[in-house]
Chains A and B, each alone.
Chain A
């Protein structure tokens, strides 16, 4: 289950962060998302030469914490997407497809002429579509 998704801007500032958990660890998830930016930085700055992640937007598993797994995605405009899940066994393909749909939703949101680039995303439509994507996580690729 996805417990948290975040869009992080150029200055590593949160543009959108939403947790999907009934439990009371939202703040902890914020910390996890914030810390994962270090891994994104490291992975972007020291790309593994032969690794499959070269020139790919999907950054893969960033790091495992006790109970969560954190995945990352970096768009061409250097906006970062972070996803935190509690599933221990996650298929890479699922995560990739999740990020693709998430990216599409993000593009739709920032294409709104009333959206100011670099500001937080407050669009309700975006929130709804993100929540739909999150809910369908794990099922979509099976279809």
Chain B
């Protein structure tokens, strides 16, 4: 686009001219330019100069051309430029006011200037404006002079404008006025001119189409001056259509030049049309128009000799349209929906991308180049062209060329013949060949496509760029582009396209002289999946890649070339450096193939261990499998299998090549195996299985397999596990039989290239002994013994870990604030036993202990020696835990990084509660108070116990040994809570605070202790306190350990009790025993403790075993604070444990009835008077309340 003249590229701008008073020119022209639409200014300082720039029009220009002969050209080259820069629409003559009002001489001068100016403008129909510049007031201007001036200038009075440059506001005003005048007059001028041209078109006073085109063009330009885009477009299209009409008609002799002229004009018209369409946002129309333009003119190829001009022209059409499309803002907004094109030829997406046009422009440029080269080759005396021809210059008509001849001081244009023209053009073309132009176009297409995420097309452009660079021997750039393209083709599996790219790359590296690259590309090409039945691609020599068509034969040829080079049978000649490419000792080649390398096709190494885990020192099998897709069999000299443990590396020698390979055997510290043959045939796994062993524990991993072919060529191939082996790129799409890397199919799907080598078997005994379950509260001792059986123990370290069996932590989150108690199970310490006698706690430096973790170092132990320690663990809650103890040591030395052997032991220990403490209250025998809370309709089930006020109660505390070991109780007591400040509400008494003989509790046995509780305050919820039970494990042997065992205190809180006042108390009194036939008295005392009169209903049921005397049932009233005694005389009729008559009592006031329990109302009847004396105790009779004694049940 930038080749076009400036006046064509931009829309025309109206032009006016300023004459005289040069001081004011910048002010006015700036003002005119800044406004919209702008007006350009042509300034002449002096009136006399104007005739030079505006010569009177030639008679040819003004008058109608002779209608008979067609004009020599269609457009004049400078016409547009003339109207844009030379011929103003308006001339403004500036006169200083003193010239108007001054002396006659000045006035006369002014008049003559004005006449002169008028003569110039009148002939061209240019409008005139007179500007009078006055410095102060305009009063001093003579009115007569003004009229005279107006008359002489023949202008309307309003077009005489006064300007005062000294007054800013007035100046601004006059500038605005001037501007509107200029605009108005310029419009009139261009309208008039346009109308003139249009009249000519309508009248058709001529019969040449050329003139018609010219007039249409002019009309369009004038319409553009007026910003009438629609009219401009219409006339441009008219001109274009008329031009196409004459394009087919041969006129004049020189058809080559004629065709060129027509195409040039068509190009300009098309450019204008496209610009106008795109500016008005009609992208679809513009694209359709372009397509039509190309369809029409692509047929006008012209003579075979000038074909290249046609291709150049085509290329320019595309590139210019691409630029237009790119700069047009409309395209960036939206691509209009498809299908808007002409019905049967819908537009496609890409026709809206500039990239598409750039790409095609480059294609045409390429076509131009090839046709030019072809034509040049046909030219016999091409070399002489430059000498014989002289330069041609563009003639006055657009698209025409002529020769400049010097004729006596004057340069004369001379028309040229077609042959001369052609020779000249060819010579010019030869001189100015620009190979970078095509690359520029392609680069634009590439960038634009990349931007549109069309990666394949952009790659194709990159490929073309690379080919251009290649042709120009710009190897670096070419390689860069080729490599990027190749990666795409590799990924998508386009083998034929990849072949072509690789062919270039291979040739590049040959030119560059890099053997390694050359070998890599050659090997990849040879291994591409191109089979023999792929019969296509008999390619033209210059278009094809340098290697030749993609066939199996070619692959084999490349294969042979590579291996000839490797076998040092041949050398390659580098084009660029002239040096020889070869593989020798000075220049060894080492290829690396990793997991993503394209060379995996060439050599793929799959390594599988037959086992997953082995013991150190044990042997296992390893299968090394190699696969190559090279077309021919290759013979390897040796294979080196490398591991992460270098001592495991081994080398496989080819037995056939043993002597030569052994020659350079520099490393004999590795194992050397021999294989009968190391021949790799195409697409067939070469499988080899060897034994391998490792002494070092940990992971043994095969890292790489290095194949050596001849001394100077090695391929290092990363080992891959069969289980995770990726498909081979390209070959994965081929329909060929796939074989497994190992014979064992299971191994092929699960084999790994690494194996776990276990640790050495530990030769040490680590024993944890804890026979019984631990008891909550005690310090539980777990002895740990380390006995060395084999090698010495260096740098031993014992780790102890307590883990909750059921998961979860060993501490409860709720209690975290009480740090001391936060752990349910705690490792208190470790004590060490030395020499089996002395035991001491290990100092803090030697061990680190946290609540559930401990670390202690074990001293050096010789073989056979032992060491032991005791772990002290305390349970705060019953909880089973897992105790893990692991001993890490190094069998050899004391070095810190020596290999360690670990021994692990674990033991589950249950923490159990030692004793369960229970309690219950007893009221005195046959002594029943009426507690009103018990009579309620629905006594709450969780109701705490109620005790009568001021009555002694019996509290029995029982402690049951729920372990499996005997326990010894030290003491049992009840203590009030420490924090209890309130007044003592009840008294608890006990017979003896200490147990005289330490009570031994065998498993399951229960110990009971009786306390008397007397409550003194009538209140609910009385705290009784805590039961403190001190106990320890019972050990029969009274050795030292026993004394060390501290007694354990178990605490349990007693529940709260309610103290209640009881209004009635029923007390039954009978002797402890009776004798058959002997009467005894049975008293029932009813105490009214309330201050109210109580009405009591009672009844006594008859029984067979007794004869009763006394009232059976009655209703009595008991006075407040008094006692009523019912007495019965009973005679037993039978012996044994007999039920006394059932007594039932009902209180009317409380509607509560009472019946003593069966146990309370029995009596033992002796058949006769017992021989021994029991009576003494028996006399105590009912006074058995408070049996304060300690008993073992």
Residues on the A chain within 8 Å of B493, using CB: 11, 13-14
Mask for B347-367, Cβ within 8 A of A = 1, else 0?
A: 011110000100010010000
Residues on the A chain within 8 Å of B456, using CB: 12, 34-35, 37-38
Give the docked Cα–Cα distance between A89 and B342 (Å). Answer: 13
Give the docked Cα–Cα distance between A37 and B463 (Å). Answer: 17
CB-contact partner of A42 in B346, B454, B544, B735, under 8 A: B454
A13-B492 CB under 8 A given contacts A35-B456, A38-B456: yes
Residues on the A chain within 8 Å of B349, using CB: 39, 42-43, 63
CB-contact partner of A120 in B363, B543, B734, under 8 A: B734
A27-B492 CB under 8 A given contacts A38-B457, A118-B733, A120-B733: no
Contact yes or no, A27 B497, CB < 8 A: yes
A48-B457 CB under 8 A given contacts A24-B540, A31-B497, A39-B348: no
Mask for A117-143, Cβ within 8 A of B = 1, else 0?
A: 011111000000000000000000000
Give the docked Cα–Cα distance between A56 and B26 (Å). Answer: 66
Q: Quick check: is A79 within 8 A (CB to CB) of the other chain?
A: no
Residues on the A chain within 8 Å of B1020, using CB: none
Q: Quick check: is A1 within 8 A (CB to CB) of the other chain?
A: no
Residues on the A chain within 8 Å of B500, using CB: 27
Q: Quick check: is B79 within 8 A (CB to CB) of the other chain?
A: no
Mask for A18-51, Cβ within 8 A of B = 1, else 0?
A: 0100001011101100110111011100001011
Residues on the A chain within 8 Å of B735, using CB: 115-116, 119-122
Contact yes or no, B734 A34, CB < 8 A: no
Which chain A residue lies CB-closest to B449?
A38
Give the docked Cα–Cα distance between A62 and B454 (Å). Answer: 13
- Interface stretch, picked from B177-185, B531-539, B563-571, B1185-1193, is B531-539
Residues on the B chain within 8 Å of A42, using CB: 349, 452-454
Contact yes or no, B494 A39, CB < 8 A: no
Contact yes or no, B337 A48, CB < 8 A: yes
CB-contact partner of A39 in B350, B491, B538, under 8 A: B350
Q: Nearest chain B CB to A89's CB is how many angstroms away?
A: 8
CB-contact partner of B346 in A14, A28, A61, A119, under 8 A: A61
Q: Nearest chain B CB to A142's CB is how many angstroms away?
A: 17
Indicate the member of A34, A60, A89 with the most B CB atoms within 10 Å.
Answer: A34
Contact yes or no, A50 B337, CB < 8 A: yes
Contact yes or no, A119 B734, CB < 8 A: yes
Contact yes or no, B733 A119, CB < 8 A: yes
Residues on the A chain within 8 Å of B514, using CB: none
A31-B733 CB under 8 A given contacts A12-B492, A13-B494, A26-B537: no
Q: Nearest chain B CB to A76's CB is how many angstroms away?
A: 21
Q: Nearest chain B CB to A61's CB is how many angstroms away?
A: 6
Residues on the B chain within 8 Å of A15, using CB: 733
Residues on the A chain within 8 Å of B452, using CB: 42
Contact yes or no, A30 B733, CB < 8 A: no
Q: CB within 8 Å of A: which of B1019-1044?
A: none
Contact yes or no, A26 B536, CB < 8 A: yes
CB-contact partner of A61 in B348, B356, B492, under 8 A: B348
Contact yes or no, B539 A38, CB < 8 A: no
A62-B460 CB under 8 A given contacts A118-B733, A119-B733, A121-B735: no
Residues on the B chain within 8 Å of A19, using CB: 536
Give the docked Cα–Cα distance between A60 and B339 (Å). Answer: 11
Residues on the A chain within 8 Å of B457, using CB: 35, 38
Contact yes or no, B733 A13, CB < 8 A: yes
Give the docked Cα–Cα distance between A37 and B457 (Å). Answer: 9
Q: Nearest chain B CB to A29's CB is how many angstroms away?
A: 9
Give the docked Cα–Cα distance between A22 and B722 (Å). Answer: 45
Give the docked Cα–Cα distance between A42 and B539 (Å). Answer: 32
Q: Nearest chain A CB to B854's CB is how many angstroms away?
A: 59
Q: Nearest chain A CB to B421's CB is how many angstroms away?
A: 28
Q: Quick check: is A52 within 8 A (CB to CB) of the other chain?
A: yes
Contact yes or no, A48 B338, CB < 8 A: yes
Give the docked Cα–Cα distance between A52 and B457 (Å). Answer: 26
Q: Quick check: is B1155 within 8 A (CB to CB) of the other chain?
A: no
Residues on the A chain within 8 Å of B497, using CB: 27, 30-31, 34
Contact yes or no, B460 A35, CB < 8 A: yes
Give the docked Cα–Cα distance between A13 and B490 (Å). Answer: 10
Q: CB within 8 Å of A: which of B712-733?
A: 733
Contact yes or no, B346 A26, CB < 8 A: no
Give the docked Cα–Cα distance between A53 and B500 (Å). Answer: 35
Q: Quick check: is B455 within 8 A (CB to CB) of the other chain?
A: yes
Which chain B residue lies CB-closest to A15?
B733
Contact yes or no, B540 A38, CB < 8 A: no
Mask for A57-98, Cβ within 8 A of B = 1, else 0?
A: 000111111100000000000000000000001000000000
Residues on the A chain within 8 Å of B337, using CB: 48, 50-51
Residues on the B chain within 8 Å of A50, using CB: 337
Contact yes or no, A31 B460, CB < 8 A: yes
Q: Quick check: is B1018 within 8 A (CB to CB) of the other chain?
A: no
Residues on the B chain within 8 Å of A52, using CB: 339
Q: Nearest chain A CB to B501's CB is how many angstroms away?
A: 11
Which chain B residue lies CB-closest to A53?
B338
Q: Quick check: is B496 within 8 A (CB to CB) of the other chain?
A: yes
Mask for B519-561, Cβ within 8 A of A = 1, else 0?
A: 0000000000000000011111001100000000000000000
Give the docked Cα–Cα distance between A30 and B492 (Å). Answer: 13
Which chain A residue lies CB-closest to B536?
A26
Q: Nearest chain A CB to B90's CB is how many angstroms away?
A: 50
Residues on the A chain within 8 Å of B455, using CB: 38
CB-contact partner of B537 in A27, A51, A63, A66, under 8 A: A27
Residues on the A chain within 8 Å of B453, using CB: 42
A9-B733 CB under 8 A given contacts A30-B497, A31-B497, A61-B348: yes
A11-B492 CB under 8 A given contacts A27-B544, A42-B349, A119-B733: yes
Give the docked Cα–Cα distance between A60 and B348 (Å). Answer: 9
A66-B539 CB under 8 A given contacts A11-B493, A27-B496: no
Contact yes or no, B539 A24, CB < 8 A: yes
Indicate the member of A31, A39, A43 with the most B CB atoms within 10 Å.
Answer: A31
Which chain B residue lies CB-closest to A17?
B496
Residues on the B chain within 8 Å of A31, using CB: 460, 463, 497
Residues on the B chain within 8 Å of A11, using CB: 491-493
Which chain B residue lies CB-closest to A29?
B536
Residues on the A chain within 8 Å of B536, using CB: 19, 26
Residues on the A chain within 8 Å of B540, using CB: 24
Q: Nearest chain A CB to B299's CB is how many angstroms away?
A: 12
Q: Nearest chain A CB to B1108's CB is how many angstroms away?
A: 107
Q: CB within 8 Å of A: which of B454-505?
A: 454-457, 460, 463, 491-494, 496-497, 500
Q: Nearest chain A CB to B977's CB is how many angstroms away?
A: 79
Residues on the A chain within 8 Å of B460, using CB: 31, 34-35
Contact yes or no, A62 B339, CB < 8 A: no
Which chain A residue lies CB-closest to B461?
A35
Give the docked Cα–Cα distance between A27 and B453 (Å). Answer: 23
Q: Nearest chain B CB to A87's CB is how many angstroms away?
A: 13
Contact yes or no, B350 A63, CB < 8 A: yes
Residues of A within 8 A of B (CB): 9, 11-15, 19, 24, 26-28, 30-31, 34-35, 37-39, 41-43, 48, 50-52, 60-66, 89, 115-116, 118-122
Can you identify 24 A-B contacts, CB atoms within 8 angstroms? A9-B733, A12-B456, A13-B493, A26-B539, A27-B500, A31-B497, A34-B456, A35-B454, A35-B456, A38-B449, A38-B454, A51-B337, A60-B346, A63-B350, A63-B351, A63-B356, A64-B351, A66-B360, A115-B735, A118-B733, A119-B733, A119-B735, A120-B733, A120-B734
Given contacts A9-B733, A39-B454, 20 further A-B contacts (CB under 8 A): A11-B492, A11-B493, A14-B494, A15-B733, A24-B540, A26-B537, A30-B494, A31-B463, A31-B497, A35-B456, A42-B452, A61-B346, A63-B348, A63-B356, A66-B360, A66-B363, A116-B735, A120-B735, A121-B735, A122-B735
Query: Nearest 4 CB-CB pairs, A to B?
Result: A13-B493, A38-B454, A119-B735, A35-B457
Residues of B within 8 A of A (CB): 337-339, 344, 346, 348-351, 356, 360, 363, 449, 452-457, 460, 463, 491-494, 496-497, 500, 536-540, 543-544, 733-735
